[in-house]
Amino acid sequence: MKNVLISGASIAGPALAHWLARYGFTTTIVENSPGFRDGGYAVDFRGDAHLTVLRRMGILDDVEAARTGMGAMAYVNKDGKPQASMPADLFAGDIEILRGDLAQILHDATRGTTEYIFGDSIASLDEDAGGVTVTFERSAPRRFDLVIGADGLHSNVRRLAFGPEERFVRNSGVHCAIFTVPNHLGLRYTGHAYRTAGQLASVYSARHNTEARAAFYFGSPDQDVHRHDVARQQRILTERFAGTGWECDRLLAEMRDAPDFYFDSVGQVRMDAWSRGRVALLGDAAYCPSSLSGMGTGLAIVGAYVLAGELAAARGDHRAAYARYQDVMGEYVAGCQKMGDGVAKLMMPESRFVVALLNRYYKLLPYLPGKKMVAKIARRTAEGIVLPDYAQAPTRSTS
């Protein structure tokens, strides 16, 4: 079984294609967007497991060269006066990089060995004993041995193969919006965050301070808005943050010209099984730990390494490989998802009193004996897997 279709051209999909091509598989990636998607928020890697996979992929030096180099994040009041500072190791890990820059590195590493189909998506999957017939929204139907959904929180492959999204996605009651803005504050490898009851707005420098990213988070039940209705999303964000102080009004004005506006709910994906027949899920599509956990990108990179390695070790026997993939990743996924639990309430408390208390705590944090505890917990979680060495492991029998 050597012919694999991957849905999703962001992080998990190209990472999987990289490994599968190395093991001799033929890979095709289909992506709904009309082209490569730049922009996005900062993601991080921490600990030996993440860095080992990047090193084995041969892209660690490229990731290091594109790192954000972020320092501490300052919490400010409505007038912009710093109130407290958060050390970089609490949110930036060992290496922090913009999601778009990481996607570009992965795309550059795979475009010579992987067929990319942009501006299309899977319409149906028809599996039989010999493979999967895939119909597309625009392209002609094709046959594949295996289909992998690496298409994010709102996975189309998951919906087609496993059922409706509401069965698997647990929303946290938080929505977020992220987009590129000019670095009008002159931030240098740092950021400012402004928190009020149930809301948080921030801006941080990007790409060696030549631009910045604005990020807004707010507590809210599910919004009755289509994921692609950008105008409605921007109205919701404006209604929540206009007139709230600090730089919010200016950032909202700059939002109108942003080339990469992103708006979504913050959620986790919980599934008992990540595969069904010849179809499997990877990354956020299978086990999103929530964007607030700081674990999603590292988890996707490790998951791609394991899934490809198990397919190679099992000589393409998808039943054996998918079972081993879940066995190897199961406890690791559970630990990363636990990191995401409760983060929303801590990040955006509903009480003004708790907001003031947290700001005071953060101000004292550099002087407290347990100041490195959170970073240590995050690192321990990120390192909570023993990576198989598929290059040296014996090929497993599939008889």
Kindly state whether residue 63 falls inside one of the protein's structural domains. yes
pLDDT at 345 exceeding the cut of 60? no
pLDDT tier at 302 (50, 70, 90 boundaries)?
A: very high
Q: Is residue 356 part of a domain?
A: no
C-alpha to C-alpha distance for 254 and 172, rounded to whole angstroms: 28
Position with higher pLDDT, 382 vs 16: 16
Rounded mean pLDDT of 384-398?
A: 67
Q: Compute φ and ψ for 184, nearest 5 degrees.
A: -70, -15
Instruction: Give the mean model confidence (pLDDT) for residues 138-145.
Output: 97
Q: Is the pLDDT of residue 392 over 70?
A: no
Residue in 17, 68, 71 with CA at minimum distance from that of residue 43: 68
What DSSP element (H or E) covers 43? strand 42-45
Mean pLDDT over 172-201 rounds to 91
Percent of the chain clearing pLDDT 90 (strictly above) = 62
Look at residue 180 and tell me if it is in a domain.
yes
Q: Is the pTM of this model over 0.95?
A: no
When pLDDT is cut at 50, 70 and 90, the band that residue 373 belongs to is low
pLDDT band at 398 (very low <50, low <70, confident <90, very high): very low
301 pLDDT more than 90? yes
Residue pLDDT, tens place only, 9-63: 999 999 999 999 999 999 999 999 987 777 677 888 988 899 999 999 999 999 9
CA distance 230 to 172: 21
Whether residue 43 contacts residue 283, with contact meaning beta carbons closer than 8 Å, is answered with no
Q: Which residues, other chains included, contact 199 with Cβ-Cβ below 8 Å and sequence gap of 6+? A: 216, 217, 218, 219, 240, 241, 244, 348
Q: Is residue 193 one of the residues assigned to a domain?
A: yes
Residue from 198, 239, 242, 192 nearest 77 by CA: 192
Quick: pLDDT tens for 305-339. Answer: 999 999 999 987 999 999 999 999 999 999 988 87
Strands (E), 122-190: 122-128, 131-136, 142-144, 146-149, 169-181
- Mean pLDDT value of segment 59-73: 89
* 293 or 236, which is more confident: 236
Quickly state the pLDDT bin for 127 (edges 50, 70, 90). very high
Rounded to an integer, the average pLDDT of 278-294 is 91
Q: Per residue, what are the HEC states of 181-218?
A: ECCCCCCCCCEEEEEECCEEEEEEEECCCCEEEEEEEE
Domain that holds residue 13: 3-349+374-382
| Residue 395 placed within a domain | no
CATH of the domain at 220: 3.50.50.60
Sheet with 73-76, edge to edge strand ranges: 82-86, 73-76, 191-196, 199-206, 211-219, 169-181, 262-269
Better-scored residue on pLDDT, 391 or 105: 105
C-alpha closest to that of 13 among 321, 376, 282, 399:
282
Q: Please count the structural domains in the chain.
A: 1
pLDDT for residue 397: 37
Is there a domain that residue 329 lies in? yes
* Residue 293 domain-assigned (yes or no): yes
